Structure 1
């Protein structure tokens, strides 16, 4: 599986998301994903499944060095001491001595960004994470993290799918050699029933959901982390790696509405803040 090299780590471009897979129910699901070939596993403290993910990795028989593991700190754990404790707790649940990527899950309105990112960098220097990143930062925040604070951001994870433009973010990140990790790549299931994507699926002998994943993977510097509870869907997402879109396909997807944001918690930042 193709990887992107960033800040000294290689991140597989197709990962396995585990959002809304709480508790022990996640273990057999993650075991299935690893058995099918996924090597990039994305979890978070807030998902309440780190212990199950850890158990699945232990049971898989796959060597730790072959797995790329991402976890995240919740927005109420961003003070430096709290962040360090949060990672210690996550490592215990995951049965690991380090993760490959540790991320801020959501920014907090009252966080001291310089102190938080400094603490993340310290965790990296101590070998508790191989790389650091941020999720759900708007472009203004990303610019500050990169240009003012100088944080070695390995990836930025944001909502991205065929119905939401991330052109400005992609342009900035691409210019700084930072990959974008697309979460909710199927627009929380909406891609599967979209008429345009379904028509393209018929053209390529695949599903509408596979077209959505292929479209994301078609873009330079984009990593995709769909979730799938059933082995058939997990394999279908892997099979999307083999779909090749043409210019006509890209034009059809470009014509879809690009203002549909579906993840809007009350603590989200101002997405359209001027960078």
Structure 2
């Protein structure tokens, strides 16, 4: 059983399966395999163009829908009031489900203010299309505005978090608000394996560097969604709950951040908190 992160009464499995770039049968088989081996958290998005395959993977797994925490996201181009509801309807249709457990705003849009879409996000919760709602890639200023506009609780901010990026400012702000954080790119898109400090710590625990990085995240109270289609790596990614990093090790990993550590910074990205 994978431990959970709690936020405003909602329990989110601390390790989930990220699905960005997983397509066609590869995606179906990956989602099904992950659920069969014990995963209960699956993350997708309209932008990933694989919601139908994620839904099929869920059905193929044989795991009851109510045991799975399913997240999808509304892309930044669908945030206008006339587009939002249709986008959510289309996501649910592609997934083949009546609701998702978490609906997120994928990215803020500098051309569309939060006042145009936060009410519709809240409406999706009230109508039962989403059990919970939240945002992704939101800064402190954007969270201030979103919470001011929301009449339903925002429970999650999905952001890039890994040892090479200092996110302490936004992490502390989310903790203050009681908003959980889901870490995407938790393994730094392949930069974790072979890192000297992580390798040394991994050797001490007979784990891999990736397992150390994931343990570092969940030990901070975050959830993480590493992406893989390989069953062997899926198993390793959830085999991180039989050890605990020391305070000194947690601190050391926290010093690995680099000035240019951010990997994801598209044109619609906000001005990041420093």
Give the TM-score normalised by the residue count of structure 2: 0.95
Inter-partner Cα distance in structure 1 for 2:136 and 2:23: 20
Structure 2 vs 1, CA of residues 238 and 44 (structure 1 numbering), >3 Å: closer, same or farther?
same
CA contact (8 A) 1:213 1:240 kept: yes
3-state SS in 1 of match to 2:98: coil
1:191 maps to what in 2?
192
CA contact (8 A) 2:109 2:268 kept: yes
3-state SS in 2 of match to 1:188: helix
2:162 maps to what in 1?
161
Q: Describe the superposition over 1:49-107 as per-residue Cα deviations: whole angstroms up to 9, x where unpaired.
A: 11111001111111111001000011100012311111111111111000010111111
1:247 maps to what in 2?
247
Inter-partner Cα distance in structure 2 for 1:88 and 1:189: 35
Inter-partner Cα distance in structure 2 for 1:181 and 1:122: 23
Q: Describe the superposition over 1:15-41 as per-residue Cα deviations: whole angstroms up to 9, x where unpaired.
A: 111011123320001111111110000
Give, in angstroms, the shift of residue 111 of structure 1: 1.0
Give 5+ residue unaligned stretches, structure 1. none
CA contact (8 A) 1:91 1:97 kept: yes
3-state SS in 1 of match to 2:83: helix
Inter-partner Cα distance in structure 2 for 1:124 and 1:8: 15
CA contact (8 A) 2:122 2:150 kept: no
Q: Describe the superposition over 1:196-237 as per-residue Cα deviations: whole angstroms up to 9, x where unpaired.
A: 1111100110100100000001103x1111111100000000
CA contact (8 A) 2:26 2:229 kept: no
Inter-partner Cα distance in structure 2 for 1:24 and 1:5: 33
Inter-partner Cα distance in structure 1 for 2:218 and 2:129: 29
Aligned residues: 272
Give 5+ residue unaligned stretches, structure 2. none
CA contact (8 A) 2:73 2:106 kept: yes
Inter-partner Cα distance in structure 1 for 2:189 and 2:151: 34
1:144 maps to what in 2?
145
Inter-partner Cα distance in structure 2 for 1:128 and 1:80: 16
CA contact (8 A) 1:145 1:151 kept: no
Inter-partner Cα distance in structure 2 for 1:255 and 1:4: 24
CA contact (8 A) 1:162 1:212 kept: yes
3-state SS in 1 of match to 2:138: coil
Question: What is the Cα-based RMSD across aligned positions, in Å?
Answer: 1.4
2:216 maps to what in 1?
215
